[in-house]
Structures are given as structure tokens and as C-alpha cells.
Structure 1
């Protein structure tokens, strides 16, 4: 009986189990029917760490489709936290993940021992899965891209994708909700739009349910710009500064896990806190809390000459995210409604001049 229960446990695949993914693992274990968590990693050296956290490590690389063959029919739920590759406008990693999830389960082909029998088994699987009253010829062109059924009684695969608020581009500091059209300004954001589009199309084609969580800047005790402040890297002067949005990593992990149950299919949700801050003010609050000098302020022209292209790309985009869907549809109460709520806890724990070693 115990072995049977283990086999029947739901499975959650985390693709891209980094800092946020590791924060998701204990939250998944707290659920009433705790699923088996499988962590996809391209680094064999992380296997012990992932196993100690309570996951089953699975070595696979989203840049190598051949390494993803075991994903077919493996899990009924997927938390897609993996970033795109670093170049191009198309997210090839999401494309590889969808293809792996879409492939027929190996057990379908293993029932046959000869080449002819294997071919018949595959044809039978395609007919049983995709025919449904339509002609086989008409559907043949889309079969390779169809999304497979999960192993849990034919239910659709549930995918929750961690996207970015960067897909909106520069909004001139306006308040925006999830209905605003995307307008990516750089390759990084274009690849995220590509991933969202691929998942939505896959969900329309077959039995997949995809929810998209758009994420602003993530912070936590181990994800603060302390090194930047110690180096004295400048921020924009108030007249040129941009509005920025944030979310604590613990809140984000909780939102991703909650989206498995409460995220609506094909729906976008902003995982953003309640703060309304300009980028320089965000740096100032952290500097004051950790007893560091505030970042010097420079004009936009001076910043263009002094800062790296990556940082400049963030300084060119200004927007304020509304999070009504997060509160009303997802019914989520933020642990850290603003960076100030987090920093108050830092000061209580470490004193007003906390060590910058966090």
C-alpha cells in the first residue's frame, strides 16, 4: 500500500531550480497532498544539494533536447523558472521544454519489439489522442507540436511560467495592469515574449493549461545591491530617475506555488508588491538600513558614459505595476508589501547599522 501511494503521488517538475525554485520546494511539501518534486538541473554537481532540499534531481539541459527525453509524461505540473538563452529573439529553451513535454511517453513505444510493430503503436497512439472526429490527414501537420496528456488520468499538464515585467518596455512611469500590450525594447524581453507566446499556443493546441506570472525586480537578504553601493556605482538624479517595481523572493515563491491552484488558464498576473518607488530611492533605503553611503546621483547623460549596458537598459524603462489580480483573483496577502517592511525586519534583527555581509 505504501509503495502504491508513492506511485500515485502527483509530481511537480521545476525547470530552473535556482534561488526561487529552492524556496518553492518547502512550500510544495506543505500542501495537503504533498507532491513529489522533481528538479531539472543542467549541473550534476548540484544533485546532492537538490536531494537534500527534498527534491528528486533530474539532470537535463534545456539547450540539449536529447537530454530532455525523460520529461515526457513525467509530471502533471511544471513550474517553468528557467531563463531564456542569452541571445536571439526566440526562446529556444522554452521551445525545447514544450517539445519534451509534448513527446509521447516511452511506454507507448516499448510495447512493440519490431520496427513495424513500433510504427503501428505510434500510429495507434496518434489516432487515439488526436483524431476525435477530424480527418487524420488534416491533423498530421500539427501532431509533432501537440502537448501530451499527463500521467494523472489524462488531465492536462499545468504549466506556470515565470516571465518578466520587462515585456512592457518603457511606459513613461504610468500605472499599468496585465491588459497592457507588450512592447519589448531589448532582446532579453523579446525572448520572454517569445516564451509566453509559445506556451499560449501550446495550450490552445492541446491539453495544457498555462498561466503566466510577470515578475519585476526580485530582492531578498541574499539579493540586495550591497556590492553596488559599496563600489559607489551611481544612480540617476531625481529629475531623470525611473519608477521600478519589486517583489521579495519569498513572496514570489509563494505566488508561483499558489498559481498552480488559483492561476487562471491563459491568464497573466503581476507578482509585484505595493511599493511606488523610483530606482534611486530604492537604493537609498537599502543603503540607510545597512549603514552604507548612498549612491551618488548623476544625470542620464553621465550615466550613459559610466554604466554598463545591462544596468542602463533598466534605467531606460519606467512603469508602475498594478497588482489587483494578485490580490483579488489569487487572493494572496503579501508577506512584504514594500521594501520598507523587509528592511524593518532587518533593522530589528541586526540593528540600525547592519553588516553589509548579507
Structure 2
């Protein structure tokens, strides 16, 4: 099976590693990154609508994954390649979105039936892109799926990294919780969808346990054998507007649909299993 990815980032590369693709290709923004990925066996192309090799890889793709974010002009893959996607061999299309489209729910549990109410500009753009991709799927008769992701972590991108770099913080806002998802569990969910396509499907891709962010940092510190950073009250914390807005949304996200419909069994159902595995692999030493 041949895969084409718009946006060969962290999650997309994990998906490529997770399956025996006969050919994996996609786009990046920087020529230097394209060269590095090509050295690793991925046919990476600098994003350009006139690249003949890119267009041929896209035409022959059996599956297409969209990982690149939208901008004020819309989704760049749709803007530049809509007709090419319609003419491709792809029978499965996946769009990576965010649970930020649901907005704030005061810590209540939500699922895919919960109405969207994005609060930030970026989440609003994401929801607009979701609708555009689902509309394209209906018009061209392809199985388009939306995957709403929670906070992504994994090798090289986790609480150990912040501890090693001295940037980890334990900001406490009473009642605040976040869901997370290990990048390998995202990859396995996408793979399960490939085997069970459902046109127009929307899935929350998340772990089992929404947890306070300070608890995750403290657990990582215990594994690493270091003192955790001191707790800081949210009201007193010095944060960027973007970081502060992150705490403005509080919800518990159900993952029942990916389990019941796709048969997903998370390898890392909570942050504890994920951090345990990362520490066992020497992650804290690597981050340092």
C-alpha cells in the first residue's frame, strides 16, 4: 500500500514507521528536511503545486493523510491539490484535527456527539478544515475520516524533556485536567481505520485518563529520580497568552468510539504507562 502525507511531521512519521508501506511520500516546507527524510527512505517533497514527482506520488497513493495545519486562507492541501486528490487512487483519507474544536466544557465528559464550539482562532480554522475535507469526501465518493487528537507525546517529546532542559513547570489550576495520547497509539488508531473505513467518520483519539498537568510532571520526576519543580498557582504563573489560553478549556474526552468501532486497544492507556516505557528506553538520559 502506498501512502501520501501532507505535512511529514512528528505524528505522520510515526504512522509511516508503524506499517509496512510499499511507498511513503509527502510534503514538507523546508528543502533541508526533505533531504533528511529522503535519506531515511521517505519520498519527501518540498510543498510545491508544480512538482511532477510530488504529483505522481499523490496520484498513485492508496491512502492520504493530512497533518499540516490550515491557515487563514484555508487548508493548503485542499487549496492547491483538491482536483489532484479527486483524481488519485486513494480510497482512504485521514485528516488530523484537534479536540480543541469542542471548546470548554467545565471538566465534563464529552464524546463525538458533543457539538463543537471552538474558542480559539486555530481551533476554529481546524473545524473549518474538517468540514471542507468531509465535504470533499462526499462530493468525490471517498472515505474521509477526521481524527481529533489530544496532547501528543512520545519519544523526544514528553515530560522528561522539560525536566532535562529545566523548563518543566507544575502550574496548578484546581479542577483542571487534560487528556493526552502517545504518538504510537495515534498510529495504531489510524491503522485500524485503514482496515475499517467509514466515510464521514469522526473519532476522538485520546487516552483513558484525563489528568492534572502537574501530576504528569511529578510522575516523570519520580521516575527520573529528580526533584519536581515547585507548584505554582495558575493565577500567579507567568505565561504567554497562548499558554494561558490552553488552560481556558477543561474537558474529559471519551475514547469509547475508537475502541468499540475500530477495536483499538491502547498500548499506553494513561500517561503512567507511556512515561514508564519512555523511561525504560532511556528517554530521560537522551533528553538530557
TM-score with structure 2 setting the length: 0.88
Q: Deviations over 1:192-214 (max 9, x none)?
A: 10110100111122222210111
Q: Which residue of 2 aligns with 1:322?
A: 254
Q: Which residue of 2 aligns with 1:70?
A: 55
Deviation at 1:22, TM superposition (A): 1.6
- Partners of 1:342 and 1:180 in 2: how far apart? 28
Whether 1:331 aligns to 2:263 is: yes
Deviation at 1:82, TM superposition (A): 1.2
Q: Which residue of 2 aligns with 1:25?
A: 16
Whether 1:216 aligns to 2:150 is: yes
Whether 1:51 aligns to 2:51 is: no
Q: 5+ residue gaps in structure 2? A: none
Alignment CA distance shift 1:308-1:263 (3 Å): farther
Alignment CA distance shift 1:349-1:149 (3 Å): closer
Find the partner of 1:93 among 76, 79, 96. Answer: 76
Whether 1:295 aligns to 2:229 is: yes
Deviation at 1:296, TM superposition (A): 2.8
- Partners of 1:70 and 1:258 in 2: how far apart? 27
Query: For 1:307, what is the secondary structure of its paired residue?
Result: coil
Find the partner of 1:282 among 216, 228, 240. Answer: 216
Deviation at 1:101, TM superposition (A): 3.6
- Partners of 1:295 and 1:179 in 2: how far apart? 38
Q: Deviations over 1:2-51 (max 9, x none)?
A: xxxxxxxx43101111222222223231xxxx432212223222334323
Query: For 1:173, what is the secondary structure of its paired residue?
Result: coil
- Partners of 1:299 and 1:48 in 2: how far apart? 45
State which structure, 1 or 2, has the greater radius of gyration over its C-alpha atoms: 1
8 Å contact kept, 2:161–2:287: no
8 Å contact kept, 2:177–2:250: yes
Query: For 1:251, what is the secondary structure of its paired residue?
Result: helix
Deviation at 1:228, TM superposition (A): 4.1
Question: CA-atom RMSD, angstroms?
Answer: 2.6
- Partners of 2:279 and 2:44 in 1: how far apart? 37
8 Å contact kept, 1:251–1:334: yes
- Partners of 2:278 and 2:133 in 1: how far apart? 39
Q: 5+ residue gaps in structure 1? A: 1-9, 104-146
Deviation at 1:220, TM superposition (A): 1.1
- Partners of 1:158 and 1:191 in 2: how far apart? 23
Count of residues in correspondence between the two structures: 285
Find the partner of 2:96 among 162, 173, 182. Answer: 162
8 Å contact kept, 1:238–1:280: no
8 Å contact kept, 2:180–2:210: no
Q: Deviations over 1:252-287 (max 9, x none)?
A: 122223322224211111111112311221222122
